[in-house]
Structure 1
Amino acid sequence: MAFPTVRHRRLRSSAAMRELVKETILGVNDLISPIFVTEGEGVKEEIASMPGVYHWSLDTLETELAETVALGIKAVLIFGVPDSKDAIGTSAFEENGIMQRAIRKIKALYPNLVVVADTCLCQYTDHGHCGVVHTAECGVTIGNDDSLELLAKTAVSQAQAGADIIAPSNMMDGFVTAIRGALDAAGFENTPIMSYSVKYSSAYYGPFREAAHSTPQFGDRKTYQMDPANAREALREAESDVAEGADFLMVKPGLAYLDIVRMLCDRYELPIAIYNVSAEYSMVKAAAMQGWIDEKAIVLETLTGMKRAGADLIITYHAKDAARWLRSE
């Protein structure tokens, strides 16, 4: 049928009508809020490149948690920022590492808050890579299988501390199998894995590397993180993780990879998470501080677009602001 028989604007005629036919609903329950926990006392230090995001020490962490819970956010993603590093990231899997102590504190204060533990080595190694570094005449390589052993130890230590979900972000081949096997052997067969299945070697991570103190001291991560030009490869990565026992699939970053989210959503039945990463956040904040954009409108439109693309869960530094805006509406 053609105009004037079909008038699409009939369903846009009022706010109530638009709400009635809205296809995608963004809610607070869709949001996961990242938190950076660091050593020290009395620390609430704003991250220069991420306005409104802070480093928290264990004694100040409750302030952030109380605000997060009061806003109705059900889950947090925890990153530990240690004060000691070595070649194999020992502090990542120590019983009293910063991540493990943070998890225990969060679960003691808010047992119903879902704690997602980022499982990687980069912020714990003195070289900043996500695995064990090998040096030979042919150059520097990141060892895959020996890195898996350390990542599995890290995951078990996080589960022992009380983490509800293990979220491995390292992009080593076989990491879901290694972690699943280690968790099961340690009695944590009911602890799910939220796999960073499709993690690109992206320029959008810059502010995060400042926040996590995880910038590589040499080289880059292109041999283990994905090439931004590739899409079919993303399906192969996700297929491996599904076969290995992942419980969630994640795409990181978000904005430039919504096509990948849709591909995974159409192909797999597992919950799909998307990471609205640091530079995506910081660009919005910078433009808003200049008065160039309407921050609330931009953020809610962006997060809605991520959900419309197929994401079930959205990890975002905008989580608290978005929760306030959604509640006010």
Structure 2
Amino acid sequence: MFKKKNLPALALQTLVAAAALASSASFAQAPAYPAKPVRLIVGFAAGGPTDVVARAFADYAGRTLGQPFVVDNKPGANTILAAQAVASAPADGYTLLFGATNHTMIPGLYSGRVKFDAVKSFQPLCTVATSPTVLVVGPGLPVKTLADYMARARKEPGRTTAGTAGMGSSGHFATEMFARANGLQLNHVPYKGAAPVVTDLMGGQLDSSFATLGSVLPQIKSGKLSALAVASPKRSSLLPDVPTFAESGGGKYSADAWYGVLAPAGLPAAVAQQLEKAARDFAGSAAAIEKLHSLGLDADSTCGQAFSTQVAREVTTYTQIARDLDLKAD
């Protein structure tokens, strides 16, 4: 009678124990990440700075994590094609985006015309490098310091020219951010790419440019262009004698361009931790630092929530600037 009355309870306990055992076995058999090659999508053509950094990271991550990280170049539409491919991929860590600062400019330039949210559709993992924005002047502008530059711009509003790689480019946003922060009126001159900007600066047809350091470092080193200030929280290791904007009276203005790894939103925490560690270790390795320096970049690893906060903040800032200037990409 006792056994018959308690049989259902014993059976239930047996079933619970069996389920727990099966769950444990299933967990133990789950393959460790990564169990197959990882696709690293780059929104630029092969050979450019973003691609070169992505390939260096892919090589390091592949050797560290034991599976190939395969770079997939998907240029076009200002990196929108690459971002869309990652946003629509499964959040399992096998499709990642190697992006740059322009990712946070997309919402402002393409408002309502993209199928993803630059913030909500992605999980920022880590930056691996930064390219400081530097204010450079050519021989045609007789100024030696940022204070001189600002004084000249205030004396003749709208006369000092500032060239960029184009309307809506990172340099354009950097120029507008600086002008707004310091109450200046600069004459923005958009070009089709960075190379003609440098040519006209050296030739004296253009006064200044807020350029990524990598694009003008050789000319600064050779003395053909003068660097007045670096738009970073601290001085660049590549230009240790050039002060920051804050040190030179330009306020807390900062316009670093970043390069980093993002995943589709919802990535498992364990996978995110492995990828973040790989990115941090890469940025801290001597080989990576040397490679990045050759491109005019500084190694940097801003990861996790700090990177997510940075991305969200930049989207808000750039979207407001684009709205105020009525900037719309074709």
TM-score normalised over the length of structure 1: 0.28
**Larger Rg over CA atoms:** 2
